[in-house]
Structure 1
């Protein structure tokens, strides 16, 4: 069976590594980028099965990236999990309005994020 491909968009290198290790160890094929433009370029070239997206990114923020993914008919089906330090209800609502399938705040529990990813990829 082919591995599910996950793109992690995270500008903090240590978190990108940690999330990559967590998901790779669960059998996912993981790629990582550190900004929104790179994420959109990657998605256009190699659409992943799921995207983990930070909000606070250099250049365009995660809300903009998510809106662009969801506005494109060729990528709108890809589930987006926003993983962020932004904890306010307004930010959460903004993320879901942008099209995120799930909104998770940092620090996160590994088991919780795996559960969300498995649920979205099984849908």
Structure 2
């Protein structure tokens, strides 16, 4: 059975490495990018099974990336989990408006991230 592919979109190198290690150690195939434009290009060329998406990104923010994923017929089925330091209710609501499937705030517990991913990728 092929491994599930996860795209991590995170502009902070140390967090990108940490998340990549966490997910590869659980058997996922991981690709990491550091900005919104690179995320959209990665999704267009190699559709992942799930996207782990930061909000505060250079070029195109995570809200817009999520909106584009969820409003395109060929990608709307891909689960998007927002993983962000933004904790206010307005950000959470905006995440829902653009179609995010789940919202996790930083600092995060690794177990919570894994459990959430497993909910979407059984």
TM range (shorter): over 0.9
Q: How does 1:56-75 map to 2 (within 5 A)?
A: 56-75=56-75
Name the count of aligned residue pairs. Answer: 122
Unpaired runs of at least 5, structure 2: none
Deviation at 1:32, TM superposition (A): 0.2
Please give the residue correspondences for 1:18-97 in structure 2 after superposition, counting only pairs within 5 Å.
18-97=18-97
**Structure 1 residue 81, shift from structure 2 partner:** 0.3
Rounded to whole Å, the distance in 2 between the matches of 1:37 and 1:50 is 17
What do you get for the CA RMSD once the two structures are aligned? 0.5
Which runs of at least 4 in structure 1 moved beyond 3 Å after TM superposition? none
Task: Note the C-alpha offset of 1:78.
Answer: 0.1
C-alpha distance after superposition, 1:26-70 (max 9, x if no partner): 000000000000000000000000000000000111000000011
Q: TM-score, normalised by structure 2?
A: 0.99
1:96 shift after superposition: 1.3
C-alpha separation between the residues in 2 aligned to 1:53 and 1:80?
7
